[in-house]
Chain A
Amino acid sequence: MSVLELRHVSRVYGQGAAEVHALDDISLSVDAGSMVAVMGPSGSGKSTLLTIAGSLEEPSDGEVCIDGASLKTMSRNAKAQLRRRMIGFVFQDFNLLPGLTAAENVALPLELDGLAARRARAQGLKALDELGLGQRAGNFPDQLSGGERQRVAIARAVVGNRRLLLADEPSGALDSANGEAVMRLIHAACKRGVAAVVVTHDAQLASWADRVVFLRDGKVTDQTAKPVGPESLLGGVQ
């Protein structure tokens, strides 16, 4: 079952001679439980793809469906509700609210969606616990390390029953150990049934994905085959 489906999506900025095709006829389907990485150089349309997939921006042409529902006919309010309930975002710079504790940051989308503060907080604490941050729940973002802040951001992105996780260079600001920890968490979320799209120019990060899609000048130019098991490498290198 596809959680996210892009059908012939294009995005054009400007008009006439100044027209720029940021995305050009993109079709992409991401199933529950799978992670797709989108790689490409700067300006290839990676971030535009993510904002359109997350219903933050409208395509000029084509259709986006989330959990089978087309965004085309959805009102602004319905889209906002869909974002609160279904979609989690993770950015390079964490985007945590500095005046809220880790637990409050994680619980915030649930509270905005109308859940009682106490229940939202309990779910937030549970999400933090699962990411090994239960002890840090009462800390403010500036009391946390970069790696911890990104784990809080991931907890916020998957709290409740979110089905789609959209990440833009999620380990870009972290060292390799913390970057790996972040990708392990996103991978674990996928194993629990979340569909994830990670856009990045970093091959180490992309290699955690089940499928890597290559973008160039707004077009999908290539993608990886289904990965084979590790046995093809172990014991095979001289």
Chain B
Amino acid sequence: MSVRHALLALLSEGPKYGFQLREEFEARTGEVWPLNVGQVYTTLQRLERDGLVESDGSAREGPQKTFRITAEGGRELVAWLRTPPDLATPPRDELVMKVLVAVRVPGTDVHEVIQVHRRHLVELMQQWTRIKESEVSESASDLSLALVVDAELFRLDSVIRWLDAADGRIKRTTAAADEPGANAAPRENAAPGENAAPEIPLLRRRARTNRSGINRKQTETGNSMNLQETQ
């Protein structure tokens, strides 16, 4: 979350003082991202140092000091709006890691592990939907909250869809490995009689892969779940 650019956006509407910026920031983001006033002033100082905002001088230090955006700040804001965030580098997603580990730890019921996380995510989605149901109307004043809640619901939904897909894939792979005549050699540390866990690609370090090395197609699709090394 770029507080820096959010403040520039608020100042693009006209001069404002610090406390007012904090109030407006929280109101515009549906109070989902709280911001302390110290963070506002530190960010304003840096913006002023960089020539992106200017204040009304040192005469009135404190909460009544007014800030306004500079022409350079305006250009920075316009450029930021159109700069894609970094979705090309897969995040080291903790949930993905947990599922990958669950598949390899002997004696682990992977479906049960997946279900624990699925239920938790659905419970979170229920809470966001309650907010949508009780606090979001179609009025313009609720637009920001509606957009933030939708974004969170779609994000959580995509994680659940990945869990569903992973659950199905693990089930199919395990079933194929269990079929008579299947070429499934037991792993070294598998307990006797334990179902052979599906083989998954090993996570290799991303050495030699700099950002420019990530293939174009992956960048375009923004595939954040692909943890395999790009060649």
Which residues on A are within 8 Å of B, measured CB to CB?
A: 39, 41, 180, 184, 187, 201-204, 206-209, 212, 214, 216, 221-225, 227-230, 232-238
Contact = CB atoms under 8 A, between A and B. Distances in A.
7 contacts: A180-B132, A184-B133, A187-B133, A203-B160, A212-B119, A227-B130, A237-B33
B123 A221 contact: no
Contact of B115 (A187, A221, A235, A236): A221
* 8 pairs of A and B residues whose beta carbons are closest in the complex: A207-B125, A230-B131, A207-B129, A227-B126, A203-B160, A207-B126, A230-B130, A224-B123
A233 B168 CA distance: 31
B126 A237 contact: no
A137 B123 CA distance: 38
Contacts of B19: none
A212 B34 contact: no
A156 to B, nearest CB: 24
Given A41-B167, A203-B160, A224 B119 contact: yes
A234 B156 CA distance: 16
B78 interface: no
B129 A233 contact: no
Contacts of A41: 164, 167-168
B119 A214 contact: yes
B122 A206 contact: yes
Interface in B152-192: 153-154, 156-157, 160-161, 164, 167-168
Task: Count chain A CB atoms within 10 A of each CB in B122, B125, B132, B153 and give the residue with the most.
Answer: B122
Contact of B133 (A206, A208, A234, A237): A208
A227 B111 CA distance: 23
B34 A238 contact: yes
A72 B151 CA distance: 47
A36 to B, nearest CB: 12
B129 A234 contact: no
Given A41-B168, A214-B118, A237 B32 contact: yes
Given A41-B164, A201-B164, A238-B33, A207 B131 contact: no
B116 to A, nearest CB: 8
Contacts of A229: 127, 130
A230 B32 contact: no
